[in-house]
Amino acid sequence: MTENLVLEHLRLIRADLAELKKETASNSLQISAMGQQFAGLTSAVYGTKSDMEDIKQRLARIERRLELAEPETL
How confident is the model over 19-49, as pLDDT tens digits?
A: 999 999 999 999 999 999 999 999 999 999 9
The pTM of this model reads: 0.59
Q: Half-sphere exposure of residue 34, counting CA atoms within 13 Å on the CB side?
A: 6
